[in-house]
């Protein structure tokens, strides 16, 4: 592709050197089933918690649903051709559980599996490595009706589903992610209720987090049994958590939020234990009676890779009595036991999600996972930004998104130089899509989607990324 746009803004002298990534670095882009597929009631698919949630008035901005989304189910062939045109080395997608196992129990739905078989074959035919995520938030509704993730049985159901998908696709998919961002499933789904299924109970959120991880461990074992050569991992969303000042009360607020956001998952998954301070913080919420002997050993079943999703940093401060919480963190809270911690905005540039742009935080996050938790290969399985885009003469010149990617790729490279075994990077997202509670109002894509016509337009960031992939790195400016 010609003439890739490059940051920084015109007129600004930039003497940054070109950066080359290690040979074989896996350059990709990511999506998720409910966010792009549409065809919600076709091919034997039945509702997930996100169908129910999005069809409940007041839950999603403007009442948007994933019924049609990007219509990827019907446009898969041309979407893969677009990926090939961009030169993607890998594509991370998720399988819709209720498409391949409607209801969440019982036999596979052949028509549903066939869609993913065709997708994988199409990718392989274009030399694109498929990266399959089993769970990107679309729990079959009947499993929610039976208690959802706070119920222990959901973990076993998830392992059965993993076996069913591995039996069907294991011969052609090498990379497997069990869960995407269990923090969101547990704490936004069952804590604040801003995500499906929209329940708000701190103890349920903690139980959900545990059973998600238990399901992950059982699924890792199921995948290995079905496909011994599979490369298996999990994807967690991590944030550096910084105290607003070095006052002890702010430092303690940061410790608490770091416990809930990061260590709640990293410690059980990679060390086989819950942090003692986190359990103490949660003492008023739960007694952890849902944790059974052997669970943590299952949860910490060895992995082959670890996926990190990175978007931003949290800066927090001690509670101020009577202060209004930030709207995003409003009660009911996604921080059980630490509801009154304040999330502070520093006045640095933000994306259209109001998330602070903090590329150094990616270096910090990757180094922490490597230095404190594991020697396993790491992959950035999501990183990206929402900005308001404008189509002008059939083009979208998304300079802010492009600059975000550029800054974060420089950070990824810095992490590699610091010794992090980072093996790949997936941009979020391949194309604009259904951004959960924000519906179609937030655009994260490198490819613009017109939701009326379903026309795709690669934005400047997509053309630039194609050039990054072609060079295996960033050009001199």
32 part of the interface to ligand FCB, by CB under 6 A? yes
C-alpha dihedral sign at 273, 278, 280, 284 = negative
Query: Nearest distance from residue 241's CB to ligand FCB, in Å?
Result: 17
* Chain centroid to CA 154: 20
Strands 175-180 and 314-317: unpaired
| Residues numbered 440-459 forming contacts with ligand FCB, rule: CB under 6 A | 444
Whether 144 sits among the annotated catalytic residues: the reply is: no
Query: Nearest distance from residue 109's CB to ligand FCB, in Å?
Result: 23
Minimum CB distance to ligand FCB smaller for 76 or for 184: 184
CB 28 within 8 A of CB 18: no
Report which secondary-structure segment, H or E, holds 310: none
Beta-carbon neighbour count of residue 360 at 10 Å? 14
Query: Nearest distance from residue 25's CB to ligand FCB, in Å?
Result: 22
Within 165-274, strands assigned E span: 175-180, 231-237, 241-243
Helical pair 202-226 and 153-169, crossing angle rounded to 10 deg: 30
Record the tokens describing residue 218, joined without a space: 């059982």
Minimum CB distance to ligand FCB smaller for 6 or for 35: 35
CB 259 within 8 A of CB 275: yes
Burial code of 201-240, b = ≥16 C-beta within 10 A, e = fewer? bbbbbbbbbbbbbbbbbbbbbbbbebbeebbbbbbbbbbb
Record the tokens describing residue 156, joined without a space: 């076993």
434 part of the interface to ligand FCB, by CB under 6 A? no
Record the tokens describing residue 280, joined without a space: 């103490």
Query: Nearest distance from residue 178's CB to ligand FCB, in Å?
Result: 14
d(Cα 47, Cα 70) in Å, to the nearest integer? 18
Whether 382 sits among the annotated catalytic residues: the reply is: yes
Of positions 51, 79, 144, 181, contacts ligand FCB by CB under 6 A: 181
436 part of the interface to ligand FCB, by CB under 6 A? yes
Minimum CB distance to ligand FCB smaller for 237 or for 374: 237
Of 176-184, 193-201, 296-304, 448-456: span binding ligand FCB (CB under 6 A): 176-184
d(Cα 231, Cα 131) in Å, to the nearest integer? 10
Of positions 310, 428, 464, 465, contacts ligand FCB by CB under 6 A: 428
Minimum CB distance to ligand FCB smaller for 21 or for 239: 239
**Residue found under tokens 């219509």:** 71
Size of the site for ligand FCB (CB under 6 A): 12
Of positions 46, 96, 237, 365, contacts ligand FCB by CB under 6 A: 237
**Which residue out of 144, 339, 364, 382 is catalytically annotated?**
382
Record the tokens describing residue 454, joined without a space: 């379903």
Minimum CB distance to ligand FCB smaller for 73 or for 93: 93
Of positions 133, 180, 300, 383, contacts ligand FCB by CB under 6 A: 180
Query: Nearest distance from residue 333's CB to ligand FCB, in Å?
Result: 18
Minimum CB distance to ligand FCB smaller for 34 or for 274: 34
d(Cα 447, Cα 151) in Å, to the nearest integer? 39
Query: Nearest distance from residue 250's CB to ligand FCB, in Å?
Result: 26
Please report the DSSP string for 348-372 in residue order.
--B-TT-PBP-THHHHHHHHHIIII
CB 310 within 8 A of CB 365: yes
Minimum CB distance to ligand FCB smaller for 177 or for 298: 177
131 part of the interface to ligand FCB, by CB under 6 A? no
Minimum CB distance to ligand FCB smaller for 138 or for 281: 138
358 part of the interface to ligand FCB, by CB under 6 A? no
Query: Nearest distance from residue 294's CB to ligand FCB, in Å?
Result: 30
Q: How far is CA 466 from CA 72, 112, 362, 459, 470, in A?
A: 21, 31, 22, 11, 6
**Residue found under tokens 């931003």:** 312
**Residue found under tokens 């934005």:** 459
212 part of the interface to ligand FCB, by CB under 6 A? no
Query: Nearest distance from residue 462's CB to ligand FCB, in Å?
Result: 17
Of 179-187, 319-327, 363-371, 407-415: span binding ligand FCB (CB under 6 A): 179-187
Of 17-25, 155-163, 204-212, 428-436: span binding ligand FCB (CB under 6 A): 428-436
**Which residue out of 37, 122, 144, 181 is catalytically annotated?**
181
435 part of the interface to ligand FCB, by CB under 6 A? yes
In degrees, rounded to 5, the angle at the alpha carbon of residue 442 between the alpha carbons of residues 431 and 406 is 60
CB 135 within 8 A of CB 30: no
Query: Nearest distance from residue 183's CB to ligand FCB, in Å?
Result: 9
382 part of the interface to ligand FCB, by CB under 6 A? yes
The residues carrying an active-site annotation are: 181, 382
User: Where do contacts with ligand FCB occur on this chain (CB under 6 A)?
Assistant: 32, 35, 180-181, 184, 237, 309, 382, 428, 435-436, 444
């Amino acid at each position: 592709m010609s003439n890739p746009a490059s940051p920084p803004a015109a007129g600004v002298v930039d003497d940054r050197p070109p950066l080359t990534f290690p040979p074989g670095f896996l350059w990709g882009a990511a999506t998720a089933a409910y966010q792009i597929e549409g065809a919600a009631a076709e091919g034997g698919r039945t509702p997930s918690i996100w169908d129910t949630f999005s069809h409940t008035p007041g839950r999603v901005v403007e009442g948007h649903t994933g019924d049609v989304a990007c219509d990827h189910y019907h446009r898969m062939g041309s979407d893969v051709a677009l990926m090939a045109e961009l030169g993607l080395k890998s594509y991370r997608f998720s399988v819709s559980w209720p498409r391949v196992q409607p209801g969440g129990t019982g036999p596979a739905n052949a028509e549903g599996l066939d869609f993913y078989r065709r997708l994988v074959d199409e990718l392989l035919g274009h030399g694109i490595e498929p990266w399959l995520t089993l769970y990107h938030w679309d729990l079959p509704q009947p499993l929610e009706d039976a208690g959802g993730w706070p119920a222990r049985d959901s973990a076993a159901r998830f392992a059965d589903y993993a076996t069913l998908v591995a039996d069907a696709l294991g011969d052609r998919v090498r990379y497997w992610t069990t869960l995407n961002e269990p923090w969101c499933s547990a704490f936004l789904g069952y804590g604040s209720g801003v995500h499906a299924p929209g329940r708000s109970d701190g103890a349920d959120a903690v139980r959900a987090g545990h059973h998600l991880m238990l399901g992950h461990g059982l699924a890792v074992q199921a995948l290995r049994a079905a496909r011994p050569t599979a490369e298996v991992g999990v994807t967690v969303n991590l944030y550096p958590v910084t105290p607003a000042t070095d006052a002890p009360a702010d430092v303690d607020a940061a410790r608490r939020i770091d416990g809930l956001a990061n260590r709640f998952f990293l410690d059980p998954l990679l060390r086989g234990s819950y942090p003692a301070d986190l359990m103490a913080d949660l003492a008023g919420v739960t007694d952890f009676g849902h944790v059974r002997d052997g669970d943590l050993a299952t949860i910490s079943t060895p992995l082959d890779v670890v996926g990190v999703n990175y978007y931003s940093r949290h800066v927090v401060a001690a509670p101020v009595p009577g202060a209004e919480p930030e709207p995003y963190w409003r009660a009911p809270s996604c921080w059980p036991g630490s509801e009154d911690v304040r999330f502070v905005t520093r006045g640095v540039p933000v994306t259209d999600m109001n998330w602070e742009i903090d590329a150094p935080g990616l270096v910090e996050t990757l180094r922490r996972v490597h230095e404190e938790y594991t020697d396993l290969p790491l992959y950035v399985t999501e990183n990206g930004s929402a900005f308001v885009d404008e189509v002008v003469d059939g083009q979208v010149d998304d300079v802010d998104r492009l600059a975000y990617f550029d800054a974060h790729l420089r950070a990824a490279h810095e992490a590699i130089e610091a010794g992090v075994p980072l093996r790949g990077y997936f941009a979020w997202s391949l194309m604009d899509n259904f951004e959960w509670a924000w519906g179609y109002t937030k655009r994260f894509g490198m490819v613009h989607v017109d939701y009326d016509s379903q026309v795709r337009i690669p934005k400047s960031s997509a053309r630039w990324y194609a050039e990054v992939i072609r060079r295996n790195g960033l050009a001199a400016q």
